[in-house]
Amino acid sequence: MVRVVLNDLQRNIHYTFKQVKHLAVALTHSSYLNENAEETAHNERLEFLGDAVLELSVSSFLYDKYPGAREGELTAMRSRMVSQPSLAALARKLALHSCLRLGKGEESQGGRTRDALLADALEAIFGAVFVDGGFAAAKGVIEALMAGNFPAAGKAADHLNAKDSKSLLQEIIQKRFQERPVYNLAGSAGPEHAKLFYVKLTLPDGKIYEDAGSSVKKAEQAAAARALKEYGA
């Protein structure tokens, strides 16, 4: 890893590593190891650690900033902030795509521009800061870099209403379980001009929510809203 690249990135994240090798590993994709036998570590373990550090840091910030918010509201805000698109956008802002070490195959397939790869690398950097300087250092880096993504004081409700219930629930569930909610039409009743459709929503943890609406889409939204409400109960 060219030292000037590492130095520039450290300036961009406002953190200087005691052991810069942690940063080098955070920038190393597994595909790079497949083509460079002298390398011994890639960033997947740091990504695993950084994901947890990121979630705890954002949770702590939101908990302090919105003392009146319910669990479901805090979960929704956190989900949007740590979503793959949000992290990938921040990674591009830091020019992280130009710092990554990728294998030739991954490079040729556009890996340097993929949201998933960029988001994972950013989480790996958070993990590297944690290993190098502890939780306080990692939390400081995360809060500084994500300052523009936190909802303004008093705007939590606007932040939550930016997406419909179904989309918002999907973000939360995918982040928590890496699976999507499942909606099934359970039936319908009433005359054609005033028919009600009943939808059953099943979450990966086995919880089921049912609701009805004048269309399947409206019934799905109602079931999702019910699930979100119970998350905040």
Give residues with Cβ within 8 angstroms of 9, minimum separation 6. Answer: 23, 27, 94, 95, 96, 99
Q: Which two tokens stand for residue 118?
A: 């960029």
- DSSP 8-state secondary structure symbol assigned to residue 194: G
Q: List the beta bridge partners of residue 184.
A: 200
Order across the sheet with 196-202: list the strands: 182-189, 196-202, 208-213
Q: Are 116 and 104 in contact (CB under 8 A)?
A: no
Is 158 among the catalytic positions? Answer: no
| Residue 102 main-chain phi, psi, to 5 deg | -120, 155
CB atoms within 10 A of CB 38: 5
Chain-centroid distance of CA 172 in Å reads 9
Q: Looking at 47, 51, 120, 132, which residue is catalytic?
A: 51
Q: 47, 73, 123, 211: which one is catalytic?
A: 123
Whether 35 is a known active-site residue: answer no
* Rounded Cα–Cα distance for residues 90 and 118 (Å): 9
Contact in structure between 182 and 202 (CB atoms under 8 Å) = yes
Q: Compute the distance between CA of residue 197 and CA of residue 33 in angstroms, rounded to an integer.
A: 53
Positions marked catalytic: 51, 123
